[in-house]
Amino acid sequence: MHKEEILCLAVLPEDLTEGRRYAQFSIHYTFDRMAFGVDDTTALCRRLAKIIQGKTCEVALVRFLRRHGIAHTTREGQTPHTDPDRFDLRILNQIVDLKTFAVPAAVAKPARLLNCLGLVPDHHPRDQWSRRGHYARFVFGFFEGRLMVRLAPRAEQLLTQRAPLNDDHLQVEATPLKFYVTAAPTIADCEAKFRKVRAGTRCPQYSRGTRIDNMGCRVGELSSFREFISM
Protein backbone atom coordinates (compact mmCIF):
# COMPACT_ATOMS: atom_id res chain seq x y z
CA MET A 1 0.00 0.00 0.00
CA HIS A 2 1.18 3.53 -0.81
CA LYS A 3 0.48 6.63 1.28
CA GLU A 4 -1.59 8.11 -1.56
CA GLU A 5 -4.10 5.30 -1.12
CA ILE A 6 -5.02 6.25 2.43
CA LEU A 7 -8.48 7.80 2.76
CA CYS A 8 -9.08 10.66 5.19
CA LEU A 9 -12.69 11.00 6.36
CA ALA A 10 -14.07 13.82 8.48
CA VAL A 11 -15.99 12.67 11.55
CA LEU A 12 -19.22 14.67 11.85
CA PRO A 13 -21.03 15.58 15.09
CA GLU A 14 -23.88 13.23 14.18
CA ASP A 15 -21.38 10.36 13.85
CA LEU A 16 -20.19 11.06 17.38
CA THR A 17 -23.77 11.25 18.65
CA GLU A 18 -24.54 7.82 17.23
CA GLY A 19 -21.35 6.41 18.74
CA ARG A 20 -22.29 7.84 22.12
CA ARG A 21 -25.79 6.40 22.06
CA TYR A 22 -24.47 3.00 21.09
CA ALA A 23 -21.99 3.07 24.00
CA GLN A 24 -24.70 4.00 26.50
CA PHE A 25 -26.67 0.88 25.67
CA SER A 26 -23.86 -1.57 24.96
CA ILE A 27 -21.39 -0.88 27.80
CA HIS A 28 -22.91 -3.63 29.98
CA TYR A 29 -22.69 -6.23 27.21
CA THR A 30 -19.33 -5.41 25.60
CA PHE A 31 -16.40 -7.72 26.32
CA ASP A 32 -13.71 -5.80 28.23
CA ARG A 33 -10.96 -7.00 25.89
CA MET A 34 -8.43 -4.42 27.07
CA ALA A 35 -9.05 -5.31 30.73
CA PHE A 36 -9.76 -1.71 31.72
CA GLY A 37 -12.08 -3.01 34.44
CA VAL A 38 -14.93 -1.34 36.32
CA ASP A 39 -13.12 -0.45 39.52
CA ASP A 40 -13.11 3.32 39.13
CA THR A 41 -14.43 6.17 37.01
CA THR A 42 -11.24 6.36 34.93
CA ALA A 43 -11.53 2.72 33.86
CA LEU A 44 -15.21 3.09 33.01
CA CYS A 45 -14.56 6.22 30.95
CA ARG A 46 -11.77 4.50 29.03
CA ARG A 47 -14.10 1.64 28.15
CA LEU A 48 -16.83 4.02 27.07
CA ALA A 49 -14.40 6.07 24.97
CA LYS A 50 -13.16 2.92 23.22
CA ILE A 51 -16.71 1.86 22.34
CA ILE A 52 -17.63 5.37 21.16
CA GLN A 53 -14.49 5.56 19.02
CA GLY A 54 -15.18 2.27 17.26
CA LYS A 55 -18.83 2.97 16.55
CA THR A 56 -18.20 6.56 15.47
CA CYS A 57 -15.60 5.43 12.93
CA GLU A 58 -17.96 2.76 11.61
CA VAL A 59 -20.69 5.36 11.09
CA ALA A 60 -18.26 7.68 9.27
CA LEU A 61 -17.16 4.83 7.00
CA VAL A 62 -20.75 3.83 6.21
CA ARG A 63 -21.52 7.44 5.23
CA PHE A 64 -18.54 7.38 2.85
CA LEU A 65 -19.74 4.13 1.26
CA ARG A 66 -23.26 5.50 0.86
CA ARG A 67 -22.11 8.77 -0.73
CA HIS A 68 -19.91 6.96 -3.23
CA GLY A 69 -22.50 4.35 -4.17
CA ILE A 70 -20.43 1.42 -2.88
CA ALA A 71 -22.60 -1.61 -2.16
CA HIS A 72 -22.78 -2.38 1.55
CA THR A 73 -25.08 -3.38 4.36
CA THR A 74 -24.98 -3.02 8.12
CA ARG A 75 -28.39 -4.42 9.11
CA GLU A 76 -27.43 -8.04 8.52
CA GLY A 77 -24.68 -7.87 11.15
CA GLN A 78 -26.58 -5.90 13.75
CA THR A 79 -27.55 -7.67 16.96
CA PRO A 80 -29.36 -6.59 20.14
CA HIS A 81 -27.10 -4.78 22.59
CA THR A 82 -27.30 -7.83 24.85
CA ASP A 83 -25.78 -10.14 22.20
CA PRO A 84 -22.27 -10.30 20.68
CA ASP A 85 -21.90 -8.70 17.26
CA ARG A 86 -21.83 -11.16 14.38
CA PHE A 87 -19.85 -8.76 12.22
CA ASP A 88 -19.57 -5.03 11.55
CA LEU A 89 -20.18 -4.62 7.82
CA ARG A 90 -20.67 -6.34 4.52
CA ILE A 91 -18.93 -4.38 1.72
CA LEU A 92 -19.14 -5.51 -1.91
CA ASN A 93 -20.71 -8.70 -0.56
CA GLN A 94 -17.70 -9.42 1.64
CA ILE A 95 -17.99 -9.57 5.42
CA VAL A 96 -15.41 -7.28 7.00
CA ASP A 97 -14.36 -6.53 10.57
CA LEU A 98 -13.35 -2.92 11.19
CA LYS A 99 -10.41 -2.39 13.56
CA THR A 100 -9.77 1.19 14.71
CA PHE A 101 -6.89 2.73 16.66
CA ALA A 102 -6.39 6.21 18.07
CA VAL A 103 -3.20 7.98 17.00
CA PRO A 104 -1.67 11.32 18.05
CA ALA A 105 -1.57 14.17 15.55
CA ALA A 106 2.16 13.66 14.96
CA VAL A 107 1.48 10.11 13.72
CA ALA A 108 -1.64 10.98 11.70
CA LYS A 109 0.30 11.63 8.49
CA PRO A 110 -0.01 9.26 5.52
CA ALA A 111 3.70 8.39 5.45
CA ARG A 112 3.76 7.66 9.18
CA LEU A 113 0.49 5.75 9.21
CA LEU A 114 2.10 3.18 6.91
CA ASN A 115 4.35 2.24 9.84
CA CYS A 116 1.46 1.72 12.26
CA LEU A 117 0.51 -1.87 13.00
CA GLY A 118 -2.66 -3.51 11.79
CA LEU A 119 -3.55 -5.51 14.89
CA VAL A 120 -6.13 -8.22 15.51
CA PRO A 121 -6.61 -9.30 19.16
CA ASP A 122 -5.23 -12.78 19.93
CA HIS A 123 -5.33 -12.75 23.72
CA HIS A 124 -8.49 -14.69 24.48
CA PRO A 125 -10.51 -17.49 22.80
CA ARG A 126 -13.26 -14.94 22.11
CA ASP A 127 -10.89 -12.62 20.25
CA GLN A 128 -11.23 -11.89 16.55
CA TRP A 129 -8.13 -13.75 15.41
CA SER A 130 -9.64 -17.00 16.68
CA ARG A 131 -12.84 -16.10 14.83
CA ARG A 132 -11.21 -14.91 11.61
CA GLY A 133 -13.02 -17.57 9.61
CA HIS A 134 -16.20 -15.53 10.03
CA TYR A 135 -14.77 -12.70 7.90
CA ALA A 136 -13.48 -12.14 4.38
CA ARG A 137 -11.30 -9.15 5.34
CA PHE A 138 -10.10 -6.97 8.17
CA VAL A 139 -10.25 -3.20 7.60
CA PHE A 140 -7.78 -1.05 9.55
CA GLY A 141 -8.39 2.61 10.34
CA PHE A 142 -6.80 5.26 12.55
CA PHE A 143 -8.64 7.88 14.55
CA GLU A 144 -7.10 11.33 15.14
CA GLY A 145 -8.38 13.81 17.71
CA ARG A 146 -9.11 14.01 21.41
CA LEU A 147 -12.20 12.24 22.70
CA MET A 148 -13.00 12.96 26.35
CA VAL A 149 -15.67 11.10 28.32
CA ARG A 150 -16.90 12.14 31.76
CA LEU A 151 -19.53 10.54 33.95
CA ALA A 152 -22.05 12.31 36.14
CA PRO A 153 -21.61 11.33 39.82
CA ARG A 154 -24.60 8.98 39.75
CA ALA A 155 -23.56 7.32 36.51
CA GLU A 156 -20.65 5.33 37.99
CA GLN A 157 -23.04 3.65 40.43
CA LEU A 158 -25.46 2.90 37.61
CA LEU A 159 -22.69 1.30 35.58
CA THR A 160 -21.54 -0.96 38.38
CA GLN A 161 -25.19 -1.97 38.89
CA ARG A 162 -25.53 -2.58 35.12
CA ALA A 163 -28.36 -0.06 34.92
CA PRO A 164 -29.08 1.87 31.69
CA LEU A 165 -27.41 5.21 30.99
CA ASN A 166 -29.05 8.21 29.37
CA ASP A 167 -27.75 11.46 27.89
CA ASP A 168 -27.63 13.14 31.30
CA HIS A 169 -25.22 10.54 32.66
CA LEU A 170 -22.53 10.86 30.01
CA GLN A 171 -20.64 13.95 28.85
CA VAL A 172 -18.62 13.57 25.66
CA GLU A 173 -16.32 16.28 24.34
CA ALA A 174 -14.17 16.07 21.24
CA THR A 175 -11.78 18.14 19.18
CA PRO A 176 -12.23 18.01 15.38
CA LEU A 177 -11.91 14.34 14.51
CA LYS A 178 -10.55 12.54 11.45
CA PHE A 179 -10.67 8.89 10.47
CA TYR A 180 -7.95 7.49 8.21
CA VAL A 181 -8.89 4.27 6.41
CA THR A 182 -5.78 2.37 5.39
CA ALA A 183 -5.63 -1.36 4.68
CA ALA A 184 -8.25 -4.01 3.87
CA PRO A 185 -6.35 -7.31 3.55
CA THR A 186 -8.04 -10.62 2.95
CA ILE A 187 -7.86 -13.19 5.72
CA ALA A 188 -5.47 -15.24 3.58
CA ASP A 189 -3.17 -12.22 3.26
CA CYS A 190 -3.28 -11.72 7.02
CA GLU A 191 -2.44 -15.37 7.67
CA ALA A 192 0.55 -15.08 5.33
CA LYS A 193 1.95 -11.81 6.71
CA PHE A 194 0.90 -11.51 10.33
CA ARG A 195 3.15 -12.42 13.24
CA LYS A 196 2.59 -12.56 16.97
CA VAL A 197 2.71 -9.11 18.58
CA ARG A 198 3.12 -9.56 22.31
CA ALA A 199 1.58 -7.33 24.97
CA GLY A 200 3.92 -4.44 25.69
CA THR A 201 5.11 -4.08 22.09
CA ARG A 202 5.70 -0.42 21.23
CA CYS A 203 4.45 0.91 17.91
CA PRO A 204 3.34 4.29 16.53
CA GLN A 205 -0.23 3.99 17.83
CA TYR A 206 0.87 2.53 21.20
CA SER A 207 3.93 4.46 22.29
CA ARG A 208 3.73 2.89 25.77
CA GLY A 209 3.17 -0.60 24.42
CA THR A 210 0.18 -2.71 23.46
CA ARG A 211 -2.10 -3.87 26.30
CA ILE A 212 -2.78 -7.41 25.03
CA ASP A 213 -1.38 -10.03 22.64
CA ASN A 214 -2.27 -9.53 18.98
CA MET A 215 -1.51 -10.81 15.53
CA GLY A 216 -0.44 -8.16 13.05
CA CYS A 217 2.08 -6.38 10.84
CA ARG A 218 2.74 -2.93 9.34
CA VAL A 219 -0.30 -1.69 7.46
CA GLY A 220 2.04 -0.59 4.67
CA GLU A 221 2.66 -4.27 3.90
CA LEU A 222 -1.04 -4.90 3.25
CA SER A 223 -3.40 -4.16 0.37
CA SER A 224 -5.29 -0.88 0.66
CA PHE A 225 -8.96 -0.25 1.33
CA ARG A 226 -9.03 1.95 -1.79
CA GLU A 227 -7.87 -1.02 -3.89
CA PHE A 228 -10.56 -3.21 -2.33
CA ILE A 229 -13.46 -0.86 -3.13
CA SER A 230 -12.13 -0.33 -6.68
CA MET A 231 -12.43 -4.04 -7.52
Alpha-carbon distance of 121 to 214, in angstroms, equals: 4
pTM of the shown model: 0.86
Q: Please state whether beta strands 137-144 and 177-181 pair in parallel, antiparallel, or not at all (unpaired).
A: antiparallel
Residue 151 domain boundaries: 3-229
Total count of domains within the chain: 1
Please report, in tens digits, the pLDDT of each residue of the chain (231 residues total). Answer: 999 999 999 999 999 999 988 888 777 666 555 555 555 677 778 888 888 999 999 999 999 999 999 999 986 434 444 454 444 699 999 999 999 999 999 999 999 999 999 999 998 888 889 999 999 999 999 999 988 888 877 666 666 666 667 777 777 888 889 999 999 999 999 999 999 999 999 999 999 999 899 999 999 999 999 999 996
Q: Is 12 left (phi over 0), alpha (psi -120 to 50) or beta?
A: beta
The whole-number pLDDT of residue 153 equals: 72
Alpha-carbon distance of 150 to 148, in angstroms, equals: 7
> Is the Cα dihedral 193, 223, 111, 54 positive or negative?
negative
